Each structure stands twice: as structure tokens, then as C-alpha cells.
Amino acid sequence: MYEKITPPTTGAKITFKNGEPIVPDNPIIPFIRGDGTGIDIWPATEKVLDAAVTKAYKGKRKISWFKVYAGDEACDLYGTYQYLPQDTLTAIKEYGVAIKGPLTTPVGGGIRSLNVALRQIFDLYACVRPCRYYAGTPSPHKNPEKLDVIVYRENTEDIYLGIEWKQGSEIGNRLIKILNEELIPATPEHGKKQIPLDAGIGIKPISVSGSKRLVRRAIKHALILPKDKQQVTLVHKGNIMKYTEGAFRDWGYEVATTEFRQECVTERESWILGNKEKNANISSEENARMIDPGFDALTPEKKAQIVKEVETVLNSIWASHGNGKWKEKIMVNDRIADSIFQQIQTRPDEYSILATMNLNGDYLSDAAAAIVGGLGMGPGANIGDSCAVFEATHGTAPKHAGLDKINPGSVILSGVMMLEYMGWQEAADLIKKGLSAAIANGEVTYDLARMIEPPVKPLKCSEFADAIIKHFG
Ligand code: NAP
């Protein structure tokens, strides 16, 4: 089955049912050490994960690590341009859950990015990035501890699909001609708009299936969060891009109000229900006026639409959601993308899970990570229905490679996400506790040490791992 690698002789496979992992007590988990600083980060990560599992389960549970290769390390073993060997793909497919350090982006061999390749090959459609603050981490913000969000970013479509044509290319020019001369004139709402003849062109597909599966996973995650964090915010720019970004919002609400009807309430529904609770005899029209302050200025059709919405909500979910029961449900709301960038800074504690399309999520997850102390501490995961890969969000930082200096926090926290995904919460909690205590105690690597006031002496990468374990308690 494998050309150059051998799976561990002990351990069992993680399998999947309805998109969720079924985890044995001794799972085999493939790991990719990573290039550059991966050589320092991986041993530190493995040590912390193993120590936490041992302490939490006293030998009842254990991970059997399976070393697989990607990036420069793979080329050394498999030959030139073998950045992502078939052995590695077979192992990840076979064992379902994998973890990886940072990988160099290849400069030849036809692969644009190994991370993107892995996401596409295994249909890892949800990029999950939790951003929470660990006390003591230097942050540019006054109250970084108020931000505790998880970004669920769609991974397979939007402009990141990479379908674009260069300005001046033959196909690009043909496409512009067809759009300008046939398709735009055939669409009355576009009026006399025309695409500049000297434009490059990119395509932004947003699908029903892609949007719904992402939001579905985000809502499922909200279900297991503490009550006060059970909220999913659909992030979009639907005021400008109705049929892509606006459609993502609409399909997201559709998932919430059909597939998760008993578990979810939308923000507008909560206003309607709350109004009725405050004023027992309020009419539908008065109710509509209260949920939409601009109601009186609306067209008769729009007014009728909102009144109908009020009546539909009250008729259909009053029994299950009324009389305050909606407060126990997952709140699903939506925010315009530019507004959410402000709000994670000005009202960070109002948000929990942010479900986004690809490009918005790309910006938003880095912005949120910056608030809580930067990428060195930012974990990430790419999750599909039959596979999940946990990974560092930073790169290989080659100038620091092999110096036992770099911060392993991002991969260690990705390991925490992996343990949580596996349902091994006790081990995950130990690591979070150890990491919090180490940072609060000023036991940190150079990147954090240089920003702490007054300055502290930095620990080595391996010493930081030991400090985390020491603080398990
Ligand atoms: P980078 O590797 O992320 O490093 C840029 C800088 O970020 C480093 O010089 C260091 O800053 C800081 N940094 C990175 N990792 C850190 C850590 N664990 N702890 C503390 N500080 C850390 O970005 P790059 O130099 O642009 O990219 C290098 C290679 O990585 C490229 O081939 C790129 O394509 C690849 N890459 C891979 C991934 C991935 O695998 N997920 C992601 C991004 C980039 P100071 O030197 O100032 O301390």
C-alpha cells in the first residue's frame, strides 16, 4: 500500500459517520513535521500532546503517531518536485485525521500551494480558526480578552477557486466581449453597465451546497458551546453582491430555520417574539413597526411583506420559541463584512462563531488573530465530512529554523483543536490550562518575550513545551 513509509503496528483507524469522527482509544494519526521551523515545532508539539493524553487518561487512551512526508522533507525522500507524495495522500485518506507543521510553498513542479492542494484533494470545506486570548500575551488591544470567536471560513469556492483570466489574454478578451455585447444587455437590471476592455477577469462562484454545508457545520459547533456563546453570525457583503454574498446569507438562514428549526432562532425572529412577550395585545402592524423603525416610510408592498413575516413567525414558532424559550436557542444573525471588522474591535464580546465565505474569512481570521496576540498563537483546522487536517497558520520562518527558538504555540493549539474534534476534551483542557499559566507566568518564547513589559528572558521552543507540561497541575 505504501512505497516508503510504514504505519505503526499498534493503533486503530478513525472512521466517520454523518461527517463526524468515531475515534478509538488508540487512534493512528498521520503527522507532517513541516519545513523550516517545523523541525523545532513538531517535537515540542508531540511532547505536549502525548503528556496531556497520558495525564488525562492514565494510559487508557494513546495516540499512535504515523510520520508522513510533505514539502521539502518529502522531496528529500521521494525525489525532486515530490512535494506531496501519494504515500502521504493515501495515509491521510486512510486514517482521516492528520496534523501538520508549516510547509514551504513550492517554487516549481506545478503546485501552487500544498495547503490549498490538501484542502482540494480531501474536500476540506471548512477552515476553522479560533481566536481567543491567553492572559499575558502581548496584544495591540486594550481588552483583547473580550474577543473569543471562531471563524468558519468556506474553503472551496469564492474567488479563491482561482478561476481568472489575465488582462489582455485571448480568452479574457473574448469573455469581456460576450459579457458586454450579449449577457449584460440581456440582463435589464445591469442597465448600460460595461466591463472596461482592459480589465482582468475573476469569477466568484458561491453555491447553495457550498454555503449550506459550511453554515451547517458552524451551527453544529455552536450546539456544543456554552449557552452564552451559542451564536452564529453570517458575514457577507450582500448589500452590494446580492446573488453571491447576499445569497450566502439567505442560504445560511435557510439552514438555520429548516434543518435546525428547533435549535435556532434568528435575530429578527427574536425581536418579533420579544415584542409580543412585552405587549400581549400588540397587532402585527405595530409589531412590524417596532422591528423596523423605518416601517412607515416603506412601500405598501414592503409593509405587507414585513407584516406577513411577523404573522408567519408568530404562527409557526410561537409554541416552540415563544414565552422566552427563544433565549435558550442558538441565535443566528448576519452582519455586513465591513461592519464586522469594526465590531470585533469595538464590541468583541457580542460575537462567537463567524461563518464566512472564503475571501472575507481570510481577512477576518487574520484580523481577529492579531487582536489576541498574532499568528504565532493562532491555530487552524481544515475540516471536511470524512477528513480533517489541523495546521499552523504561520509559515516556515526559515531564518529561525533549527535554532530551538520559535514559538510552537500555533501547532500546539492546533493539536488542542484536534483533541477537541476527537472528543478528548480533558486532554485539550489540560494543554489550555498549561499554556495559559506559562504565558501568564512570563514563560514564553522570543516573539512574545520581546513585547512584554517589563521584558522577560525568552525560553527556547523546547523549554516552552516543558513549561506548558509543568503547568498542567
Ligand atoms: P512566515 O514563515 O510565517 O514568517 C514570517 C515571520 O513571522 C517570521 O520571520 C517571524 O517573525 C514570524 N513567525 C512565523 N512563525 C512564527 C512562530 N511560530 N513563532 C513566532 N514568530 C513566528 O512567513 P514567510 O516568511 O512569508 O513564509 C515562509 C514560507 O512559509 C513560505 O514558503 C510561505 O509560502 C510558507 N507559508 C506556509 C504557510 C503554511 O504552511 N500554513 C503559511 C504561510 C506561509 P520575526 O522574524 O519577526 O520574529
Q: 418, 341, 365: which is closest to 129 by C-alpha?
A: 365
CB 92 within 8 A of CB 68: yes
- C-alpha distances in Å from residue 242, one per residue of 67, 213, 375, 381: 46, 20, 33, 29
Q: How confident is the model at residue 376 (pLDDT cuts 50, 70, 90)?
A: confident
Q: Where are the alpha helices (DSSP H) in 170-246?
A: 170-178, 208-223
Q: How many CB atoms lie within 10 A of CB 138?
A: 16
Looking at 362, 405, 432, 447, which residue is catalytic? 362
Cα 359 to Cα 156: distance, rounded to the nearest angstrom: 11
Q: 29, 18, 40, 34: which is closest to 447 by C-alpha?
A: 40
Q: 449, 460, 439: which is closest to 132 by C-alpha?
A: 439
Q: For residue 242, what are the contacts with CB-CB under 8 A and spacing of at least 6?
A: none
Q: For residue 465, what are the contacts with CB-CB under 8 A and spacing of at least 6?
A: 44, 45, 47, 48, 408, 412
Q: How confident is the model at residue 108 (pLDDT cuts 50, 70, 90)?
A: low
Looking at 160, 253, 421, 446, which residue is catalytic? 160
Q: How far apart are the first and last CA of the chain?
A: 43
Residue closest via CA to ligand 1's atom 26 equals 395
Lowest mean pLDDT among 41-45, 249-253, 279-283, 416-420: 279-283
Determine if ligand 1 sits within 6 Å of the CB of residue 38: no
What long-range pairs does 247-253 form, CB within 8 A, spacing at least 24?
Answer: 247/206, 247/208, 247/211, 248/206, 248/211, 248/357, 249/334, 251/208, 251/211, 251/212, 251/215, 252/211, 252/212, 252/215, 252/332, 252/334, 252/355, 253/332, 253/334
Amino acid letter, 156: T
CB 439 within 8 A of CB 135: yes
Rounded to the nearest whole angstrom, what is the distance from the C-alpha of residue 83 to the centroid of ligand 1? 19
Bridge-based pairing state of the strands 201-202 and 164-165: antiparallel
For the chain, the average pLDDT equals 94
Determine if ligand 1 sits within 6 Å of the CB of residue 103: yes
Task: Please report the pLDDT score of residue 392 as a whole number.
Answer: 85
Q: At residue 439, does pLDDT exceed 80?
A: yes
Residue closest via CA to ligand 1's atom 43 equals 395
Task: Please report the pLDDT score of residue 161 as a whole number.
Answer: 83
pLDDT 10s digits, 325-375: 999 999 999 999 999 999 999 999 999 999 999 999 999 999 999 999 877
Determine if ligand 1 sits within 6 Å of the CB of residue 49: no
Query: pTM here?
Result: 0.92
Q: For residue 309, what are the contacts with CB-CB under 8 A and spacing of at least 6?
A: 268, 272, 288
Residue closest via CA to ligand 1's atom 30 equals 395
Residue 132: which H helix or E strand, with range? strand 126-132
Q: At residue 190, does pLDDT exceed 80?
A: yes
pLDDT 10s digits, 265-288: 999 999 999 988 887 778 888 888
